Chain A
Amino acid sequence: MSSRRYAGPLRGVVFFALLASLPSFNLAHWVLNILVFTLMYAVMSSSWNLVGGFAGYPSLGHAAFFGIGAYAMALWFQHHAIHSGYEPFLLLPLVGLLAAAIGLPVAVIAMRTRSDVFAIVTITLLFVTQTLAFNLRGLTNGAQGLSIAAPPFSAGTFERPFYYTLIVLLALAMGITFGVMRSKLGLSLAAVRADEDKARGIGVRVLGVKLLSFSVSVGLTAMVGGIWAYYEGFIYPQFAVDPLVTIAIVLMTFLGGRATLWGPVLGAFILETGQQTLAYSLGGSQFYLIAYAMVFLLVMLLMPRGIVPSIQDRLRQRRRRIEVDAGAPRPSSPRMTRSSDTRSSVPALKGHG
């Protein structure tokens, strides 16, 4: 039992230690560049998972908040000089709070609808945001885009500050996810996801937990947008508010497994590194998109709930078989409990758990 209790934290420590040590292996710039983008997507998938996975509200509007973060960052430095290369990173929490605050009223309205209608409402939000980015020329400079002064980092280690900041952000997103899963917040969200009306009927704070998860989720997403804007140095509306970003986040989370801690991260690492590598090796052609789609379809056909939940199911079943073989006092399978009912339960089985 104790070995299982420490397995989770240990996995986290090893994962982040490995991530943090990667730059010291003198990786090529293009590899580090892929890693930076992979981390961006890992953070965004983890964040999307809070509302799309745990709350069961499949938002297609998250790219709007990525864009809001990007523009917030770019706009701030239109009006303020950058004194040090690290200053934009310090601004990120503010960017997150701003987006979270904008997300609140959005959630109040959008989360009155559910499932497919919610998806449509949120993707509408995305297109409205994109249109605004194109047309509020006084603010966004329209299709001309905005630029941020290039960071004064040395060319040899240019990616590192971004990379490490993203690691911190990933730790934050995963830490929040972990906290959610371990708390009554996660329990409440699971109830909302399964049967929202019933959850409301048994006193679950339905509206509150929905708003909270949405707000935190879009706040984190916007922070990635802010990092992205600084990393790229310029932003255009079509890339800052891009439906493809939303789609990628959703696919990654589905692939790895919704409502799990590691699923979205795994999905991001598989799809983003895969896509970038394919794009790199297959050149400028669009063939990589087909390969990308094939990988996704194949996994989803084999594991419809995503990779992590499928593995967890298998482990759970095996553990039960082992316990039963060892004579552990617990029914092994649904079949055993289905035929019996509470009265016929063997007294010796009681009191367990």
Chain B
Amino acid sequence: MAALLEVQNLVKTFGTVRAVDSASLVVEPNTITALIGPNGSGKTTLFNLITGYLPPDSGRVSFRGRDITGSDAGSLYRRGLSRTFQQARVFPALTVQENLTVAAGYSWGQLFGRRLSRSDRERVGELLEEFRLGHVADLFASELSYGQRKLLEFAAVLMSSPSLIMLDEPTAGVNPVMIETMEHHIRQRHAAGITFLIVEHDMTFVMRLCNPVIVLDQGREIFAGAPAEVQNNPLVLDAYLGS
């Protein structure tokens, strides 16, 4: 089967820092692929390049067999490529329901329709039910706990019916119960056919959830394979322990 996402020789420099240094990787459909690597190895930058938040200096990205290099984030989102942020980004002054509604990728004509139509409420209601956020539907996002905000951001990108979701550290700064919740929802959506690419520092989380695991070091892939092999790979050990 063809790869869902393919990154070829992507490069991004900030001044003298080569944040992403000719990175290549492949995400197969229906996997939960992990992207790990030491701090500053370029994971977030790579996410930004793939999802259209930053233009790459060079290299190529293709998604579902089509070249998407340099496409803008909004159109990629509409085409089923969505992501969340390391620091959860939700709209604090909008309610939880509104945060979900605004993420549905509306057409021009729908802009003039009701802010929250009946069908919005139904759709959002189902999602809130699934994520057990129903009781906070009318609260402002600013009133949620950090973990709830991460969950909300995750739920929101589901409004566009994505085929690939890229999560940047979904469990960072989140309590253990919420980590389990997050895992549960990822598994459910994975079972429903969504592919995941997850940046994560929590190794036990990665080990029990992800396969394969890709390791990034100094802006390039140094390993890709089954989770069991990661821990014994000398290159990986070197990247984490060495230099």
Given the interface pairs A183-B111, A183-B115, A351-B134, the reply to whether A337 lies near B148 with Cβ below 8 Å is: yes
In the complex, 26 of the A-B residue pairs with CB atoms within 8 angstroms, ordered by the A residue number, are: A182-B114, A184-B106, A185-B112, A188-B106, A194-B93, A195-B91, A198-B91, A201-B52, A201-B53, A201-B74, A203-B106, A204-B74, A204-B102, A331-B135, A334-B142, A337-B139, A341-B178, A342-B151, A345-B135, A349-B134, A351-B129, A352-B135, A352-B137, A353-B97, A353-B135, A353-B138
Name the CB-closest residue of B to A212: B111
Write the A317-345 contact mask toward B (1 if CB under 8 angstroms, else 0): 00000000000011101100111111111
Min distance, Cβ B197 to any Cβ of chain A, angstroms: 16
Which residues of B are found within 8 Å of A349, using beta-carbon distances? 134-135
Min distance, Cβ A232 to any Cβ of chain B, angstroms: 37
The answer to whether the Cβ of A350 comes within 8 Å of any Cβ in the partner chain is: yes
Cβ-defined contact, A191 with B145, below 8 A: no
Cβ-defined contact, B73 with A200, below 8 A: yes
CA distance A202 to B161 in the complex (A): 12
Given the interface pairs A203-B103, A352-B134, the reply to whether A341 lies near B77 with Cβ below 8 Å is: no
Chain B 128-183 interface residues, beta-carbon cutoff 8 Å to A? 129, 131-139, 142-145, 147-148, 151, 156-157, 160, 175, 177-178, 180-181
CA distance A182 to B151 in the complex (A): 27
The answer to whether the Cβ of A29 comes within 8 Å of any Cβ in the partner chain is: no
Cβ-defined contact, A184 with B134, below 8 A: no
Name the CB-closest residue of B to A200: B74
The answer to whether the Cβ of B14 comes within 8 Å of any Cβ in the partner chain is: no
The answer to whether the Cβ of A206 comes within 8 Å of any Cβ in the partner chain is: yes
The residue that B111 contacts in the complex, of A184, A191, A195, A345, with Cβ under 8 A, is A184
The residue that A184 contacts in the complex, of B53, B83, B115, B175, with Cβ under 8 A, is B115
Cβ-defined contact, A205 with B106, below 8 A: yes
Name the CB-closest residue of B to A349: B135
Which residues of B are found within 8 Å of A203, using beta-carbon distances? 74-75, 77-78, 103-106, 160
Give the number of residues in A that approach B within 8 Å (Cβ atoms). 43
CA distance A352 to B138 in the complex (A): 9
Which residues of A are found within 8 Å of B94, using beta-carbon distances? 187, 190-191, 194
The answer to whether the Cβ of B57 comes within 8 Å of any Cβ in the partner chain is: no
Apart from A201-B77, A345-B132, what are 9 other A-B pairs with CB-CB below 8 Å?
Answer: A195-B91, A199-B102, A203-B75, A203-B104, A331-B136, A341-B175, A341-B177, A342-B181, A350-B132
Which residues of B are found within 8 Å of A199, using beta-carbon distances? 91, 102
Given the interface pairs A184-B114, A185-B111, the reply to whether A353 lies near B134 with Cβ below 8 Å is: yes
CA distance A137 to B173 in the complex (A): 65
Most central of A203, A337, A340, A341 by chain B CB within 10 Å: A203
Which residues of A are found within 8 Å of B24, using beta-carbon distances? none
Q: Which A residues are closer than 8 A to B by beta carbons?
A: 181-188, 190-191, 194-195, 197-206, 208-209, 329-331, 333-334, 337-345, 349-353
Q: Which B residues are closer than 8 A to A by beta carbons?
A: 51-53, 72-75, 77-78, 82-83, 85, 89, 91-94, 97-98, 101-106, 108, 110-115, 129, 131-139, 142-145, 147-148, 151, 156-157, 160, 175, 177-178, 180-181
Name the CB-closest residue of A to B116: A187
Min distance, Cβ B152 to any Cβ of chain A, angstroms: 10
The residue that B129 contacts in the complex, of A191, A200, A202, A350, with Cβ under 8 A, is A350
CA distance A311 to B129 in the complex (A): 32
Cβ-defined contact, A342 with B148, below 8 A: yes
Min distance, Cβ A243 to any Cβ of chain B, angstroms: 30
CA distance A185 to B94 in the complex (A): 14
CA distance A110 to B154 in the complex (A): 33
Cβ-defined contact, A197 with B53, below 8 A: yes
Given the interface pairs A337-B136, A341-B181, the reply to whether A202 lies near B113 with Cβ below 8 Å is: no
Name the CB-closest residue of A to B145: A338
Which residues of A are found within 8 Å of B112, using beta-carbon distances? 183-185
Cβ-defined contact, B102 with A187, below 8 A: yes
Which residues of A are found within 8 Å of B98, using beta-carbon distances? 187, 190
Which residues of A are found within 8 Å of B53, using beta-carbon distances? 197, 201
Cβ-defined contact, B148 with A341, below 8 A: yes
CA distance A186 to B106 in the complex (A): 13
Cβ-defined contact, A209 with B111, below 8 A: yes
Cβ-defined contact, A202 with B74, below 8 A: yes
Which residues of A are found within 8 Å of B108, using beta-carbon distances? 205, 208
Name the CB-closest residue of B to A203: B105
Which residues of A are found within 8 Å of B135, using beta-carbon distances? 329-331, 345, 349-350, 352-353
Min distance, Cβ A111 to any Cβ of chain B, angstroms: 16
CA distance A331 to B180 in the complex (A): 23
